[in-house]
Amino acid sequence: MNSRFSSRDVVALTGITARQLQWWDERGIVVPAREGHKRFYSMDDLAEVAVLCELRQRGFSLQRVRKVMRFLQRELGKRLVETVSDGAEYHLLTDGRNLYLEDSAHAVINILKNSKQPILSVCLTDTVQRLRARIGKKHAQSAVSSKQKAGRRKAS
């Protein structure tokens, strides 16, 4: 699986805008590797962008989302992809104002503060798995496109 993704790849795989991605880099939210002026994102970076996008779509401010990401890295000691790759199921639970991390059937950690409202779930594992499926599909489409171009050159 590709371990480096261009900004264009990240936009295509997550639905984020190129400007938003650049802004997040400028603010140190998700900082890619650089080669000259080009930005390259790791699978860890890509997973974090996908989770950030999901939380933003659910109405969380960027400030709260940053707090969640810092908490996850500090508490879990790993980045999202590493955590999900260990086979554990993690869910972010939200009531629209607060976020909780469920790391087992018995442990729910309140990330922001206590709340007494119903809770909705954002599955970190599912987000990373959907992202991996999109990457696989993109690679398959690229391979087919390359074969078609090669076939046209031979026919010429």
The 10s digit of each residue's pLDDT in 72-123 is 777 777 776 666 666 667 777 776 667 777 766 555 555 545 444 445 556 7
pLDDT range class, residue 10, cuts 50, 70, 90: very high
Strand ranges of the sheet holding 38-41, from the earlier edge strand across to the other edge: 5-6, 38-41, 33-35
Q: Are strands 120-123 and 38-41 parallel, antiparallel or unpaired?
A: unpaired
Report the CATH number at residue 79: 1.10.1660.10
How many domains does the chain divide into? Answer: 1
Q: Mean pLDDT, to the nearest integer, of 5-10?
A: 94
The two three-digit tokens of residue 21, written as one number: 């991605």
Q: 99: part of which helix (H) or strand (E)? A: strand 99-102
- In which domain, by residue range, is 82 found? 5-155
* pTM tops 0.75: no
